[in-house]
Amino acid sequence: MKIHKEYLSHKFFCRAFLLLFCFCSCLTPKLKSDESLLTHLRYSTHFRLAKGFPFQKPQHKKWETKEYIFHVYSRSFAQGDVVYLELLPQDVLSSFPIKPRLFFNGREMPLSKTVFGYRSFFGIPTTLKPGSYPLQVQLGKPFESISVAQNQSLASSHPTYPGRKDFTITVRKKKFSESKRRIYIRRRKKALSARKLRARHKKIHRFIAEKKKAYSRFTDEIFIRSELAHPLEKHYVTSPFWIKRHVARFQRIGKRTIQLKPRVRIHKGIDLRARTGTPIYSIADGRVVIAKRMVFEGNFVLVEHGQGIFSGYMHLSKINVRKNKKIRSGQLIGYSGATGAVSGAHLHLLLQIRNVPVDPLSLLSLPVRDETDTTQKL
Ligand SMILES: [Zn+2]
């Protein structure tokens, strides 16, 4: 009896140990990768990364003046990279007297108010030549454009009111490749009748207008929190960002089909390998602004992240979100597929910042923090 009992308890412990082991091994890989990233980065951003994704630590620039600390981060400050910046008052307890203004290469960039100061995202255009560009911070209006009364009150409470200060960002060259291999977009077996062709064109124009309207949305607030996610569980790029591609073209003349000169197209997103039915996740928090079937995009989901930032997910076989609904980073958007103009199943992921297309995966380097996070950065 005793032996039996011992055997039982031994068996019980074995089982419990096995269960615990399985439980831990299920958790370990994710925790391990997250922990190692956190220690690398020394900030609280949580990255849910895909297997095989080459995570890159961001490059960091820090400038200090008497009034503020300016942190600027980017994966590599290269053409097509996202830039994230924070402007913090030097004295944590104080705030800026007037909303500061920010300019990159002469263009004003929006600043969103947070409890720690201000933050902003902008994209380095792929067309911007490598070299040095001014990044300017202006604390409110310059002296000459504000009234005397305002000027006096500001001057008394902030005697060192500095106006505008110039910093420099050096944009690096990114080698964007060209693929001469022809891409064959899947074609219909039967040609469309003239009536159906007209209806299709009408539809395309309606969708163009709908997309234009969606992309023109702008909010001062940024919805992105300190959690960022890869859209897939496994990372494999099948067509990189901004690659020049040759798309085969055909023309039907009666029963004959002739091949035309290929159309050279720039790829304004990134293609990731994803067999039909692979779960697709949102890369950041936001709000769904388009969730429908379109002609070229197939089943398309467009997510607004605030400040004119949008991420898009194309060619899905199934959409799991609805328009106007809020979405969290890492939340299921739908399943990959081969809908729309494709040569096979994959995910086309795009990221656009105020009409500047950027490499969407360059977002997954940035130490974004919650707008309510008051911890001081290093
Ligand atoms: Zn694509």
DSSP-assigned letters across all residues of 225-292:
-SEEE-SSSB--EEE-TT-EEEEEEEEEETTEEEEEEEEEEE--SEEE---TT-EEE-SS-EEEEEEE
- Report in angstroms the alpha-carbon separations of 112 from 102, 103, 168, 306: 11, 14, 21, 10
**CA–centroid distance, residue 342 to ligand 1 (Å):** 8
CA distance 57 to 76: 9
3-state class (DSSP) for residue 193: coil
Q: Mean per-residue pLDDT for 146-168?
A: 54
**Comparison of pLDDT for 156 and 231, the residue scoring more:** 231
Mean pLDDT on 81-107: 88
Q: Which of 19-23, 169-173, 194-198 has the lowest mean pLDDT?
A: 19-23
| Residue 254 or residue 98, greater confidence | 98
C-alpha 285 to ligand 1 mean position (Å): 22
How remote is the CA of residue 378 from the centroid of ligand 1, in Å?
38
Please state the domain extents for the chain: 2-41, 180-365
How far is ligand 1, taken at its centre, from the CA of residue 329, in Å? Answer: 22
Tell me the two tokens of residue 124.
Answer: 């380095």
Residue 140 confidence (pLDDT): 63
- pLDDT tens figures, 37-70: 443 444 578 889 999 999 998 999 999 988 889 9
Label the pairing between strands 279-281 and 82-89.
unpaired
Q: Are strands 332-335 and 237-239 parallel, antiparallel or unpaired?
A: unpaired
What pLDDT does residue 148 have?
Answer: 39
Length reported for the chain: 378
**188 is written with which tokens?**
């219909």
Query: Ligand 1 mean position to 245 CA, how many Å?
Result: 10
pLDDT band at residue 343 under the 50/70/90 scheme? confident
Give me ligand 1 centre to Cα 374, in Å: 39
Instruction: Say whether pTM exceeds 0.75.
Output: yes
CA gap 120, 128 in Å, rounded: 19
Helical ranges in the chain per DSSP H: 2-41, 148-157, 194-215
CA 53 to chain centre: 15
pLDDT of residue 376: 62
Task: Convert the pLDDT of each residue in 270-321 to its tens digit.
Answer: 999 999 999 999 999 999 999 999 999 999 999 999 999 999 999 999 999 9
Lowest mean pLDDT among 150-154, 197-201, 229-233, 262-266: 150-154
Alpha carbon of 4 to ligand 1 centroid (Å):
64
CA of 91 to the centre of ligand 1 (A): 46
Band (pLDDT 50/70/90 cuts) for residue 358 is very high
Tokens 């062709």 belong to residue: 197
Distance 184 CA to ligand 1 centre (A): 13
Provide the CATH number for the domain formed by 180-365 in this structure. Answer: 2.70.70.10
357 CA distance to ligand 1 middle (Å): 13
pLDDT of 190 reads 66
What is the three-class DSSP state of 355? coil
Q: How far is the CA of 348 from the centre of ligand 1 (A)?
A: 4
349 C-alpha to center of ligand 1: Å? Answer: 7
Say yes or no to pLDDT of 30 above 60. Answer: no
What local confidence, expressed as pLDDT, does residue 207 receive?
Answer: 92
Percent above pLDDT 90 for the chain: 58
Per-residue pLDDT, 338: 94
User: Could you tell me the distance, in angstroms and rounded to a whole number, from the CA of residue 264 to the centre of ligand 1?
Assistant: 14
Residue 188's pLDDT is what?
Answer: 65
Model confidence at 136: pLDDT above 90: yes
CA of 263 to the centre of ligand 1 (A): 15
Q: Cα–Cα distance between 108 and 135 in angstroms, integer?
A: 10
Res. 149 pLDDT band, cuts 50 70 90:
very low
CA of 121 to the centre of ligand 1 (A): 24
Average pLDDT over the chain reads 83
pLDDT of residue 349: 98
pLDDT band at 6 (very low <50, low <70, confident <90, very high): very low
Centre of ligand 1 from the C-alpha of residue 302, in Å:
15
